[in-house]
Chains A and B, each alone.
Chain A
């Protein structure tokens, strides 16, 4: 490690190494690749949300000049390919109806694929797609997860009564009911978590190239987890053996979770390339993206909280209908269960919790992980309930939180919903946030505005959140139904001159892994970051890995890298001891030098030692030449970042318009590798969460038509709609990984919806208003005030 006085690379805000290429347009994304003889696929999509497909006439389309082929489900079936996209997280008694690559006789949401046209040009394929004649017999649709479970509601699958895919619960029901019996206060609320469209800036895309002689498929695609996609494609979609598939994630322009899942379209492109023996490119239009990318959230929840006379929580009961959409997307079942129910204790010491969740099919786009995935929904429930309880008991929202925090000396803390929080210290983060906000002064201003009869009401909202990320350990995940492990891999290839290439199973799609990972390596080895190269996102180059999502890459991927580097350092120590004729225990490694303890001029540099390992002229007895290590890091627990956010809003009581005045975020993600990247993650997450609270919502009408299918209707937050965020941190290192880091990718999106909604409710609560559903559009707020 670097000595005192020299600035450490770890923890410094060096600029992102990947940015010069990306911001000068040199990044190469899937659609930037062109192959000889490349063709273009366009998917024919259902305009109906629910219909029987009586027949498909492809003759006119197939006869169009420039069209090579038109395929339907029947063609995929007769090819012998498995032809499905699978669900990779299973729950007890879950119903997982088949999701075929193209619809077989029935469509279940607007955008469901019924045929694919492959043409010499995208224009030709698109024009021909309009000529595919599908005879639909429309059926009634249902889009609301609560209504979908009613007797007599339209049913999506014959063998899934009341559209319930799974019925899941967690916690001790009896104990929780008992908590309510003796309670001095109970608070209840109906809370909706609005459906969101992820909107990665790069639409999904695939470029498939099949080498018929080798029997090998190369698939460039927009993916957050290329190895997992290769595995699923092999097993469930196209049936080619895994070692004959190479999945490459070139630059990927964001995902927010939407590129974790395997969709039919990319698999169809691969299958078409195998049929036609020509490269096939498929690129979603923005409208297709909005219709078919897995959406996020869409919960209807009834929550009840029991408290004693002083405001200490005695129990929490939560009942949630979670929309799954038309099919179970890859990890969909985990999101409203293990990523939601388990988080309902928040930062609080709650003696009894019971949560019951129904996963429900609806005639909408599938729902799956979206930035935060379950944890924003959980945080929203618990943090809204805290404020409702504070209001009912006449307590200050900050005080009721403080009263219920898990005490600083109670860690590791076991919740009533199956998690063990590794470390935490919640009060300092709250205090820091309150101080930064000038909480007391804000309350004074709020009061003086009221007293003066101002029509601009001030509101202050808190959100003290917990995030569980770096989902782990694999044994536990397996026991809970994951069809995947949740470790990460790293290969450390040290070159004879001492520079390093890292092969990581994490798969950056905007996060800055190239920078942070090289900081980890450079810091440990005493190198410059320029002496470290990071390779990711290619199944042919990189050993199996799990990918990037769930705020896992620093904590799990970074730890794998740290362990791999430490193994190389260990091997080097044995070589150095041999070279220095010293005992191994007496050799220490610091800032790129092996020295003998107490004899500082007895030293060998990292470069000397590495070179010796490759020359192999004189290695310790029995040692193999070379310097290359592989580490598979299987964490022993999740990591638990936390913090408190404060939103300050002004509500125009005449129009209902909400103006965000200030946003303060104090986060604790353990040790910080690069503060600028951490701040950037917080900024993006907070902006998305504010978007959810105030503007964003995917709206389907009762017929299952998406009414917010374009960016002219679906409001994403833009810079001029936001404020300059005020960020700060506390540092409580993770005790169980080698870097002491937690995750930060999702924290902003987890904390902010509740902070903003609490602020608006705080502003209007003197009118007796307790709840308004997100997004808090001016009209909704105005109506509530009336």
Chain B
């Protein structure tokens, strides 16, 4: 497959990236290129110019800011997977990043690119929703903040405006008494998630579930949260049977996604199994 001709510009700063984007009609940002280039090869995207933000060091890395972590949008999956900061304060994001495809993809693909591309089969969107992340979106007008749960709008569709750049992702620190888990069924060809379950559990002083957040990839065009299950289990001691009953009876998805590899009905079954398993693992991790 061959690419159509395009211009190439390398941005030296986030500001310059925005300027270049503004100046070139039909331009697109490129980070790791692992989602954009495949689209271009199939002629599904035909940008007139690529604005390369791949070398903007200031947009990369993980740092602790109070009770949340600031993750630069250009941090690649391999860095997330091996980050000590994440392992301590938000292990589910490292766990999910480690499950993205293969080493090559993890070395090139970035967190910002992953969520900007918003593939329903990606691993990281549901994790950001489950952790309650917020995103910094920078435009010539300044920086605005959007909650991850509001950012994902549809199939390959987000709240990101054409003149905006994701600069950072903030995830709350998961403190004492919390546990999390990401499980996925991997597509044997692409490595993408056929279904991925992200679970965060926070236990109260009494050992019961004070807060639960569930989010799934692969079921719908945007991450699916399952509030009835959350409602049924919050406040309980998360006994195995309670988890099984709640998930089996209350987890449902309307019009789940399906394809030749896995039907919607089967994906919902996977969601149930992984939800039960992930809840139990997260619970056990929370108990320490």
Contact = CB atoms under 8 A, between A and B. Distances in A.
Interface of A: 122-123, 126, 285-287, 654-655, 657, 694-695, 699, 707-708, 711-716, 718, 720-721, 777-779, 782-783
A712 B185 CA distance: 15
A123 B269 contact: no
B1 A285 contact: yes
B189 A655 contact: no
B273 interface: yes
Interface stretch (B132-140, B249-257, B259-267): B259-267
20 contacts: A122-B2, A126-B2, A285-B1, A287-B1, A655-B185, A655-B269, A655-B270, A694-B188, A695-B189, A707-B260, A713-B189, A713-B190, A715-B189, A721-B188, A777-B261, A777-B262, A778-B185, A778-B262, A779-B263, A779-B266
A783 B102 CA distance: 29
Chain B facing A: main interface SS: loop
A783 B1 CA distance: 37
Given A654-B269, A657-B185, A713-B189, 10 more contacts: A654-B273, A655-B270, A695-B188, A708-B189, A712-B38, A712-B189, A713-B190, A713-B260, A718-B102, A778-B266
Contacts of A715: 187-189
Contacts of A777: 261-262
Interface in B165-204: 185, 187-190
Residue among A285, A654, A695 with most chain B CB within 10 A: A654
Interface string B73-115: 0000000000000000000000000000010000000000000
A782 B269 contact: yes
A265 B143 CA distance: 55
A782 B2 contact: no
Main secondary structure of the interface of A (DSSP, over half): loop
Contacts of A779: 261-263, 266
Contacts of A286: 1
Contacts of A782: 266, 269
Contacts of A285: 1
Nearest to A713: B189
Instruction: Give 4 closest A-B pairs by Cβ, nearest first.
Output: A715-B188, A715-B189, A779-B266, A712-B190
A123 B2 contact: yes
A695 B2 CA distance: 28
Chain B contact-residue range equals: 10 to 19
A204 to B, nearest CB: 16
Nearest to A286: B1
A777 B266 CA distance: 11
Given A712-B190, A782-B269, A699 B1 contact: no
A112 B1 CA distance: 18
Nearest to B192: A712
Contacts of B270: 655
Contacts of B261: 713, 777, 779
Contacts of A713: 189-190, 260-261
A706 to B, nearest CB: 11
A142 B263 CA distance: 24
B189 A714 contact: yes
A654 B185 CA distance: 12
Nearest to B262: A779
A694 B273 CA distance: 21
Nearest to A701: B260
A287 B185 CA distance: 26
Residue of B187, B189, B260, B270 ringed by the most chain A CB atoms within 10 A: B189
A776 B38 CA distance: 28
Q: Which of A287, A712, A721, A779 has the most CB of B within 10 A?
A: A779
A714 B263 CA distance: 17
A286 B41 CA distance: 12
B117 to A, nearest CB: 14
Contact of A655 (B1, B188, B260, B273): B273
Contacts of B38: 712
A192 to B, nearest CB: 16
A375 B266 CA distance: 34
Nearest to B187: A715
Nearest to A288: B1
B271 to A, nearest CB: 11
A720 B103 CA distance: 11
B221 to A, nearest CB: 18
A306 B181 CA distance: 53
B43 to A, nearest CB: 10
Nearest to B269: A782
Contacts of B260: 699, 707-708, 713
Contacts of B2: 122-123, 126
